[in-house]
Chains A and B, each alone.
Chain A
């Protein structure tokens, strides 16, 4: 399965991830992402990949895990 993770040190609250993937990512009142946990559903995998690629700080990652 695939999971979205954010590196909290690298994250600069650009917020692009929440624009690309609002189904799984919202931002807190300071603009930092809150990621819905668990596996990324197959229907959202392509968007999740785009969200990770959109992160200017390279803080969002789509990881494969079992």
Chain B
């Protein structure tokens, strides 16, 4: 999926060939058989989403915002293989009968601009700059932004696929998901299943941080080894800011994609206290709340403050045990759910560090740093 150097249109066509003209049913059938799930973090089956879009004058929104600091695979894809993403938009447009398409990004992207200038697409693609906030690229927030300029989520119902931008059925898909559509449309589900790869962003205690393309179902240990991961690092965060901490020993055999969240591995840097890093991420997630829903607006800062208490030796574990289970699933979007996943997994994985903080007001790391 990721070439070594940027593919312009000629290079793209010579590598992948032209895009065959399949109809809606054939495309959705192949995408279904290929087992493609959304690559923006939620992992929703793509074919089910495509089917839920009523055909006829619908709208495709390609999500290339990639707001999570621990993910850069979408940026890599847009930089190196922009035509694969743009092909994917056309495939999606054909599958849902769309007459309009948008490509949403946080920043200007010269690779995409150059690629668009090379093409004449059946469904024209409009580039849109979305405010650089974490939840601004949530599915309903994007649709809301395109319609009104307000980039805040609007809640679970009606789904954009039923009633989205200007009331039209709207398909929002991550750009990597779309690139996969473009591959399946060309090579078919059977071939795709035998050759497909995963893009994964690896950061933290690794010699070569960045985006890797690995065979599907590659275990975490092999990915970390390819990135030159520290062998002594204690834990890895799988799934980005709203992901799950796992001890190395547990994470190593797990194929990526088993855990919820983004395709991202962050190996706990050394020296670094996992609780402190988690607290810092929680503060950032709390600040990035759209401040619309009470459990998120009040709950995330409270949980971050609980972690701060814990770091200085005040026992907030009881409060956290009470608060965390109450916050999931109560927002208009999954922002608080990710924060809860992160916090709860940190308490499990760094339990002995928490004990050290409670006993001494610091752990070996934060004591050394102070």
Q: What is the interface of chain A, defined by CB distance below 8 A to chain B?
A: 7-9, 11, 13, 28-32, 34
* From A7, A8, A11, A29, residue with most partner B Cβ within 10 Å: A8
Apart from the given pairs A8-B330, A28-B294, A32-B298, 4 other A-B contacts in the complex at a CB distance below 8 Å: A7-B332, A8-B294, A11-B294, A32-B295
**Contact residues in A for B295 (Cβ distance below 8 Å):** 8, 28, 30, 32
**Contact residues in B for A28 (Cβ distance below 8 Å):** 294-295, 299, 326
Are B330 and A7 in touch, CB under 8 angstroms?
no
Are A34 and B332 in touch, CB under 8 angstroms?
no
B154 within 8 A of A: yes
Residues of B in contact, count (CB < 8 Å): 15
**Contact residues in A for B294 (Cβ distance below 8 Å):** 8, 11, 13, 28, 30-32
B209 within 8 A of A: no
- Chain B minimum-CB-distance residue to A13: B294
Q: Mark B317-341, 1 if CB is under 8 A from A, else 0.
A: 0000001001000111000000000
Q: Which of B19-37 contact A (CB under 8 A)?
A: none
- Chain B minimum-CB-distance residue to A7: B155
Given A13-B294, A30-B298, is A8 in contact with B332 using a C-beta cutoff of 8 Å? yes
**Contact residues in A for B331 (Cβ distance below 8 Å):** 8
Given A28-B326, A34-B330, is A9 in contact with B154 using a C-beta cutoff of 8 Å? yes
Q: Which of B277-299 contact A (CB under 8 A)?
A: 292-296, 298-299
- Chain A minimum-CB-distance residue to B293: A8
Q: How far is the CA of A7 from the CA of B154 in the complex (A)?
A: 10
9 pairs of A and B residues whose beta carbons are closest in the complex: A32-B294, A8-B293, A30-B298, A9-B292, A9-B332, A8-B332, A30-B294, A8-B331, A13-B294
- Chain B minimum-CB-distance residue to A11: B294
**Contact residues in B for A31 (Cβ distance below 8 Å):** 294
**Contact residues in A for B293 (Cβ distance below 8 Å):** 8-9, 11, 32
